[in-house]
Amino acid sequence: MARITSLAEAVGAAVRDGDTVAIEGFTHLIPHAAGHEIIRQQRKHLTLIRMTPDLVYDQLIGMGCADRLVFSWGGNPGVGSLHRFRDAVENGWPNRLAIEEHSHAAMANAYEAGAAGLPCAVFRGYIGGDLPRVNPNIKYITCPFTGEKLAAIPAHRPDVAVIHAQRADRAGNVMIEGVLGVQKEAVLAAQRSVVTVEEIVDELPEQRSLNACVLPSWTVGFVAEVPGGAFPSYAQGYYPRTNSFYKQWDEISRDRESFQKWMKDNVLDKGPEVFAEHVRRFRTAAE
Amino acid sequence: MADYKPNEMMTIAAARALKNDDVCFVGIGMPSAAANLARLTHAPDITLIYESGTLATRPDILPLSIGDGELCETAITTVSVPEMFRYWLQGGRIKVGFLGGAQIDKYANLNTTVVGPYDKPKVRLPGGGGAPEIATSCGEIFIIMAQSKRGFVDKLDFVTSIGHVTGGDSRQKLGVKTKGPTRLITDLALLEPDPKTKEMTVVSIHPGVTREQIQENTGWPVKFADKVAETPAPSQKELDVLRDLHARTARAHAA
């Protein structure tokens, strides 16, 4: 059953040094507050899985939390490079970062296979390109019925999945709306999970769709209420994406010193409560 | 004739390539601008799909990311990312895939992974994202890319997604049944694959552009079709709609 705790307690209990961690959210509902908590608790030697390692992974990589990255697209969406990710890959700063690189289709299939309890994902992909040459985890399987050669990669089975959602009820049932990404699959594929939510409510909305995306409480590890916890990403129905911050990040992260200063001022010396401040202007605007 | 920039000509030429009944998988950036320009001009019923799972989306502004809230709010429905890639892309339900890249070769293979060796890259690019499977699962592929010697190279540093591989029937020989790149739209010209060799060949040159200019910005000896057309210049309406779209987008993204 899900335990409702503080974010610090959830991360402290669920995320351990050396873990394989999947922090997910496809543009939407990216758990930035939880990422910052992992940095504050100085987790080391993590293998980070994520389809689109954007700002939150740039920060974890730049702060030396990660030894390895499993991913399919590493950029600042619509803006350009991830400078800390590039510095790690190109120059080994702050440490060498091993990479296992896939396509989106492969990553999505691998999460789904993990959620389904399968050892590998099978799909039609990687035909003709160079990724299979540089990633030994891309192999092939022959369909026993048609003889078609299909790509196979290992299922994602992270030690811990970290996601953000709009709401949970007091029992810890978690409801996600909007762009769903691979969050449901990531949580079901993982051994442990941390879910931050905009709010904990007495009951999930009665008018919800009969097919709403809900992670029942027995599938969830820890739930922590962190209003604004996805900022500068967004939470559909709560606040929009702060596109201007994604553009600012390009400058902040470009050199090592300005990055470290920003991390000290905004992460190391702060707590998850600052996220509510970041999105307060949207809340006021809505009222 | 209206005054316009080469980038505007490129986006407008790319938009014209899309039809009202197309189902189009849209990448962020220039493909997104072109696809939405098509929707706001001659192709109001076009189905636009973004890999975040948003089906038949009709954004009022261009998204900065592939999963902005605007896409979800204006879509007919939003599916999960595994469903997007399995049922919709791999399932063969998408007619046109719209791609860009950092490097392209004469067979329209694309590199968005690294410049330099993979293990010791000079520039680490974002990577393939959806492109490796978009390139083989969509019915056909349109590519939009500004021409330069750095981008249009004789040999790719890395093949992220395939076009016509090494030309001729090499794509089919890999077991791929879709057409691959049928159009390459640049800021200077329109290119299409030669029916036999599959080498991307100039079929139309934008107004005021010379053959020499095209060659100077291409890292291989460029082939020109027997009959090369002149691309019609942007109409005032096309320019107005595109500029309005960019202005709305810039205002929204500054927030």
Convert the pLDDT of each residue in B16-33 to its tens digit. 999 999 999 998 788 999
For a pLDDT cut of 90, what percent of chain B falls above it? 90
Q: Count how many domains chain A has.
A: 2
Average pLDDT over residues B38-61: 95
Q: A241 and B136: CB-CB below 8 Å?
A: no
A28: β partners: A234
Q: Same structural domain for residues A46 and A136?
A: no
Residues 6+ apart with CB under 8 A from B169: none
Residue of A nearest to B123 (CA): A90
Q: Same structural domain for residues A201 and A214?
A: yes
State the catalytic residues of B.
51
Convert the pLDDT of each residue in A55-113 to its tens digit. 999 999 999 999 999 999 999 988 999 999 999 999 999 999 999 999 999 999 999 99
Q: Same structural domain for residues A198 and A91?
A: yes
Q: Same structural domain for residues A176 and A129?
A: no
B70 — pLDDT class (breaks 50, 70, 90): confident
Look at residues A154, A179, A196 and tell me which one is the last residue of a structural domain.
A154
Average pLDDT over residues B34-46: 97
Cα A71 to Cα A20: distance, rounded to the nearest angstrom: 13
Mutation site, B124, B125, B166, B177, interface A, largest A CB count within 10 A:
B124
User: What confidence score (pLDDT) does residue B66 get?
Assistant: 77
For residue B132, give the nearest of A138, A27, A136, A156 by alpha carbon.
Answer: A138
More confident: A284 or B143: B143
User: What confidence score (pLDDT) does residue A258 get?
Assistant: 98
Cα B188 to Cα B199: distance, rounded to the nearest angstrom: 17
* ipTM, 2 dp: 0.95
Residue B87 contacts A, CB cutoff 8 Å: no
Contacts of B86 in chain A (CB under 8 A): 105, 108-109, 112, 123
Q: A240 and B69: CB-CB below 8 Å?
A: yes
Contacts of A90 in chain B (CB under 8 A): 121-124
Q: Where are the beta strands (DSSP E) in chain A?
A: 3-4, 20-23, 46-50, 66-71, 98-101, 120-123, 139-142, 149-154, 160-169, 174-176, 192-201, 213-215, 222-225
Q: What are the boundaries of each domain within chain B?
A: 6-253
Q: Same structural domain for residues A270 and A180?
A: yes
Average pLDDT over residues B244-250: 93
By residue range, what is the domain housing residue A143?
104-154
Q: Same structural domain for residues A26 and A39?
A: yes
User: What confidence score (pLDDT) does residue B29 get?
Assistant: 82
Convert the pLDDT of each residue in B72-130 to its tens digit. 999 999 999 999 999 999 999 999 999 999 999 999 999 999 999 999 999 999 999 99
Q: Same structural domain for residues A60 and A194?
A: yes
User: What confidence score (pLDDT) does residue A285 get?
Assistant: 55
Q: Same structural domain for residues A243 and A132?
A: no
Q: B90 and A112: CB-CB below 8 Å?
A: no
Listed by number, the residues of chain B in 234-253 with a beta carbon closer than 8 Å to a beta carbon of chain A are: 252-253
Residues of chain A with pLDDT under 70: 284-287
Judge contact between A25 and A46, C-beta under 8 A: no
Q: Same structural domain for residues A132 and A183?
A: no
Q: Same structural domain for residues A171 and A126?
A: no
Angle at Cα A280 formed by Cα A274 and Cα A283, nearest 5°?
Answer: 145
Instruction: Give the predicted TM-score (pTM) of the model.
Output: 0.96
Q: What is the mean pLDDT of chain A?
A: 96
Cα B23 to Cα B19: distance, rounded to the nearest angstrom: 9
User: Which H or E element spans position A250?
Assistant: helix A243-252
CATH number at residue A199: 3.40.1080.10
DSSP-based three-state secondary structure for A277: helix
pLDDT at B1 exceeding the cut of 70: no
For residue B231, give the nearest of B209, B199, B201, B200 by alpha carbon.
Answer: B209
Q: Same structural domain for residues A170 and A277?
A: yes
Judge contact between B47 and B77, C-beta under 8 A: no
B65 — pLDDT class (breaks 50, 70, 90): confident
At the fourth CATH level, the homologous superfamily of domain B6-253 is: Glutaconate Coenzyme A-transferase (3.40.1080.10)
Angle at Cα A105 formed by Cα A104 and Cα A110, nearest 5°?
Answer: 95
Residues 6+ apart with CB under 8 A from B92: B137, B139
User: What confidence score (pLDDT) does residue A140 get?
Assistant: 98
User: What confidence score (pLDDT) does residue B252 get?
Assistant: 85
User: What confidence score (pLDDT) does residue B2 get?
Assistant: 73
Convert the pLDDT of each residue in B93-108 to its tens digit. 999 999 999 999 999 9
Q: Same structural domain for residues A88 and A143?
A: no
